[in-house]
Structure 1
């Protein structure tokens, strides 16, 4: 019973931290009261995105409140006619510039090199850079709100996390864990104040940066070979003396990251090994998550079967507190909580399997993404 009570207390503390982050420390950019007067460059890297780029680009061209907006698009070796779709959508709009990307040189991964080409070839007058992925659709005030919050917060990098669109059972099992993990385990207020690079998080789908601070940190050249280039960029900003901030961007942007289970599986597989680092650290973290969030419902059933209702009640309480953390996260980030939160123990099991798969394929040098080796 003592061990069960300790388990209940651990989950309660973490769920309490989730609630504090969500209600007190999570930034929520809104439509700014005035236009953004500084020139802004929106940077859009594309590789084989013909089927997804049109809604993204149309949303960028519909942005308001940013008179100095320029959109720079880079076609990174696409073979599916992505550049033709960009030309069809943009027409002769003078705000759009379409670039042809070069092959990544030795030591570079594809995404960082595409972003670096965009940043270095954008209008030199632009003082703010906004990176957007092709699977993101922005609301009309999103860029203005992000840049306004960037300046109001006094940070170098702002990561307004989009609302993650979930359309399949696999989506609903795995995708909500992204926001849940950083709301549960990352102290947002301390992250903003601390200069420790290890205390950092960011989502590359939608990033706003001060250009001078970005260049001071070395930009994407500083993270050329990093799979998680967004988090590593945030760390580079901190190492250069800048500050970073996370924000709820669910009212500003929506993102459908993967279309099906194979894409989702392979997308997580390519990067989870980089999230945890040493396999021993991954095993410890996954083991702790399984203990805290997957074991309680199993223990509750086992205790009932053994005729120990008190133990079953404590274990069920731990399970419900874990579910409550998912509910808080969903409500704070525009996600769906019913009935998805109830399957949280299964979500953690799937995350553990994806992590194991990531290390296994990396060891065998079989990690690829968009036709390029990842490691």
Structure 2
């Protein structure tokens, strides 16, 4: 058992080293005043049953600064709640609202909504924002400024993830930690390989020309992980870009309770690893690196404890860098267990045709 504990410690020290490296090299979108951007910017927001998010959302996007010209385009994607009524309370010269068309065969709802938004948009930059995101006043202008500085065609500023309930605090930080701890970000930028793309559709900016040339959402119309697949499609077509720490300019609370979190992640985890084999391998790696060390430690293997503390340190580094949940870092084995459960549940529901999101079959 000691040999196993030592081996897992080496793995977790590598994870800690990658995390440490990324903490100091990750691109950061800073909340600061920028010279006005003179290109037209289109802020595009898909809405389906988002009544409770409409007020805070619209106020934050209409308050954007540092943009000489920008339009906000909302699409009410056939909501069954009072999203449309909430939207109607707001008016501005640069605010446009469209009603979503019926969902065609072969499309997923959000992808088709984003496609319609892009068709309506007139800007040189397309800024896709989810309804549960709140933007700081210079979020868009600062992000585009960094994008221009790096000569990128797209950028995905990763918002600060807000987690309030127990399961949110246990599970939610793991997603951001997973890429922070496994992928040397500067290397992924240089290699520019689709398999190394990191992206978050909560806040995603792309040059209009790159979006159209790569096929945009029409090229990924049936993909449940639309953010990753859009980024990969852009890279495959020769465009450059990447993820950035957007925690200083945007925040997002994806789910309001445990039930929403389970429903939300179980709809997509089947696709995250490509196949049942890939999902099983990911679950095995997560178990070996995150759960087994503390199990060995509790059985008396001191190197098991060292492996556990290496991952806790990795979690704390990411939390400190992104201003996210620190209190659950010590519960990392539980976080891993929850994520393994979500992977299994997602594949189970997929096999039974039970994946439904916002009233639509996936």
Aligned mate of 2:348, from 360, 366, 373: 360
Is the 8 Å Cα contact of residues 150 and 209 (structure 1) preserved in structure 2? no
Matched, 1:316 2:343: no
C-alpha displacement of 1:240:
0.8
Which residue of structure 2 lines up, in the alignment, with residue 31 of structure 1? Answer: 32
**What 5-or-longer segments of structure 2 have no aligned partner?**
none
Secondary structure of 1:193 counterpart: helix
Q: Distance in 1 between matches of 2:238 and 2:343?
A: 32
Q: Select between 346-355 and 178-187 the one with higher mean Cα deviation.
A: 178-187
Q: Is the 8 A contact 1:29 1:247 kept in 2?
A: no
CA contact (8 A) 1:27 1:246 kept: no
Q: How does 1:86-165 map to 2 (within 5 A)?
A: 86-88=87-89, 90-91=90-91, 93-123=92-122, 126-165=123-162
**Equivalent residue number for residue 168 of structure 1:** 165
Q: For residue 372 of structure 1, what is the aligned residue in structure 2?
A: 360
Contact 2:46 2:113 in 1 (8 A): yes
Distance change (3 Å), C-alpha of 1:52 and 1:33: closer
How many angstroms apart in 2 are the aligned matches of 1:266 and 1:167?
A: 17
In structure 2, C-alpha distance between the alignment counterparts of 1:290 and 1:318, rounded to whole Å: 13
CA shift for structure 1 position 25: 3.2
- What TM-score do you get using the length of structure 2 for normalisation? 0.98
Q: Which residue of 2 aligns with 1:306?
A: none
Q: 1:343 aligns with which of 313, 331, 343?
A: 331
Show structure 1 runs of 5+ residues with no match: 304-310
Question: Would the aligned equivalents of 1:179 and 1:333 in 2 still touch at CA under 8 Å?
Answer: no
2:314 to 319, 325, 342: 325
In 2, distance between residues paired with 1:164 and 1:24? 20
1:316-336 Cα offsets, whole Å, 9 max, x none, are 111100101100110111112
> How many Å separate the matches in 2 of 1:335 and 1:60?
23
CA displacement, residues 7-63 of structure 1 (integer Å, 9 cap, x when unaligned): 111100111101101112333344253111111000010001011111011001111
Select which of 227, 236, 248 maps to 1:251. Answer: 248
Q: Is the 8 A contact 2:34 2:66 kept in 1?
A: no
After superposition, give the CA deviation of every residue in 1:213-242 in whole Å (9 maximum; x if it has no partner). Answer: 111110100100000011000010011100
Over aligned residues, Cα RMSD in angstroms? 1.1
Runs of 4+ in structure 1 over 3 Å off: 25-30
Deviation (angstroms), 1:84: 1.5
Higher mean displacement: 279-288 or 226-235: 279-288
Deviations 1:104-136 (A, max 9, x none): 21111000000000001112xx11110001000
| Residues 40 and 70 in structure 2, CA contact (< 8 A), matched pair in contact too | yes
Alignment length (residue pairs)? 361
What CA distance in whole angstroms lies between the structure 2 residues aligned with 1:20 and 1:77? 45
Task: Tell me, yes or no, if the aligned pair for 1:193 and 1:243 is still in contact at 8 Å.
Answer: no
In structure 2, how many angstroms separate the alpha carbons of the residues matched to 1:138 and 1:271?
25
CA distance in 2, matches of 1:7, 1:364: 36
Counterpart-to-counterpart distance in 1, 2:32 and 2:242: 18
